[in-house]
């Protein structure tokens, strides 16, 4: 299909294998992948997409997504490396664009002796995706430090929502309820000691290296935490530690991670997830909800 979009608005890649972009290293081709030049270009691209009813999906660092093996019959907009401005706007306030990595966001705060974002240093994603799902780790969540979020609304108007209108909860925000697109966010942080801040996120990073299978392709924690339980323990208690299904399986290091063990396909990963969900449901009566999103045809 020929898309009537001005190619001067960014980098255009036709029939682009999504396995080259997702952290799972799986996925068929996107009919068109676009990396917009900047925010203005993104808005222009989205105007054409909406005028023509083109199918599209916006991704950041592609760390919480599975694209099916048949690919995506439409347009993928990838913001990694775009909308990645970051600045200190006042004594204890930072603004960052949606495309910036959570790691870089945390490091910028540390460089300015501001604490509160240490938990974000090891989260393998972009700020935009983090805001959508209220990303968190080690008892920290974005909702605890965000002041406001800059977004495109359903009519592509730039709006800013204060914290109380973002409806943040566990792995949820208002962005999931409406057709909104994250452009960036402002953070209110506390003053701290630079060395202590660095030591804190290095401690978190070390804990991740000790407990998580960072040597294998994955999307991080595959399942949301079920109320009253821990997903990893339920999976382990179901006898699924190290379970393998063709090229995919459950990590032996952390049962909450489904991983690409050996050139898995997207179907291998999806079937592994579904098998884990069924066995845990049958044994414990608990429904494990996916944290990772699945798109494609």
Beta strands 93-97 and 114-115, pairing class? unpaired
Tokens read off for 237: 């208690």
Distances (CA, A) of 73 to 3, 17, 152: 12, 12, 24
Q: What is the dihedral of CA 7, 9, 13, 17, to 10 degrees?
A: -150
Dist CA 206 CA 106 (whole Å)? 16
Nearest partner of 99 among 27, 170, 17, 41, judged by Cα? 41
Structural contact between residues 102 and 83, judged by C-beta atoms closer than 8 angstroms: no
Q: Is 291 a catalytic residue?
A: yes
Dist CA 10 CA 229 (whole Å)? 45
Nearest partner of 31 among 62, 54, 65, judged by Cα? 54
Catalytic residue among 101, 126, 221, 238: 221
Dist CA 13 CA 75 (whole Å)? 10
Q: Is 203 a catalytic residue?
A: no
Tokens read off for 75: 């347009």
Catalytic residue among 160, 252, 271, 291: 291
Distances (CA, A) of 105 to 56, 99, 236, 251: 27, 10, 34, 29
Q: Is 221 a catalytic residue?
A: yes
Strand-pairing partners, residue 66, are: 294
Tokens read off for 132: 């959508």
Tokens read off for 275: 């098998």
Q: What is the DSSP secondary-structure string of 132-154?
A: HTT-EETTEEGGGTEEEEEEE-T
Q: How many residues does the chain have?
A: 297
Catalytic residue among 104, 171, 241, 246: 171
Positions marked active-site: 171, 221, 291
């Amino acid at each position: 299909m020929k898309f009537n979009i001005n190619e001067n608005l960014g980098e255009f890649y036709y029939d682009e294998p999504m396995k080259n972009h997702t952290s799972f290293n799986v996925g068929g081709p996107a009919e068109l992948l676009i990396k917009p030049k900047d925010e203005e270009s993104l808005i222009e691209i989205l105007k054409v997409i909406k005028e023509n009813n083109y199918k599209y999906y916006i991704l950041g660092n592609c760390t919480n997504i599975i694209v099916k093996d048949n690919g995506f019959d439409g347009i993928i907009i990838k913001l990694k490396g775009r909308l990645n401005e970051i600045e200190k706007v006042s004594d204890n306030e930072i603004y960052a664009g949606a495309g910036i990595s959570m790691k870089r966001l945390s490091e910028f705060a540390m460089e300015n002796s501001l604490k509160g974002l240490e938990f974000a240093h090891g989260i393998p994603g972009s700020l935009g995706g983090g805001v959508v799902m209220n990303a968190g780790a080690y008892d920290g969540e974005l909702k605890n430090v965000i002041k406001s979020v800059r977004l495109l609304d359903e009519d592509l108007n730039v709006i800013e929502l204060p914290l109380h209108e973002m409806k943040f909860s566990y792995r949820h925000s208002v962005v999931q309820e409406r057709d909104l697109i994250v452009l960036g966010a402002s953070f209110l942080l506390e003053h701290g000691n630079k060395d202590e801040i660095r030591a804190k996120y290095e401690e978190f990073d070390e804990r991740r290296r000790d407990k998580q299978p960072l040597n294998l392709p994955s999307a991080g924690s595959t399942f949301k935490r079920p109320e009253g339980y821990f997903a990893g323990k339920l999976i382990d208690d179901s006898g699924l530690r190290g379970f393998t299904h063709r090229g995919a399986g459950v990590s032996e290091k952390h049962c909450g991670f489904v991983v690409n063990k050996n050139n898995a396909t997207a179907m291998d990963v999806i079937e592994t997830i579904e098998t884990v969900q069924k066995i845990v449901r049958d044994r414990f009566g608990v429904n494990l909800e996916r944290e990772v999103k699945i798109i494609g045809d």
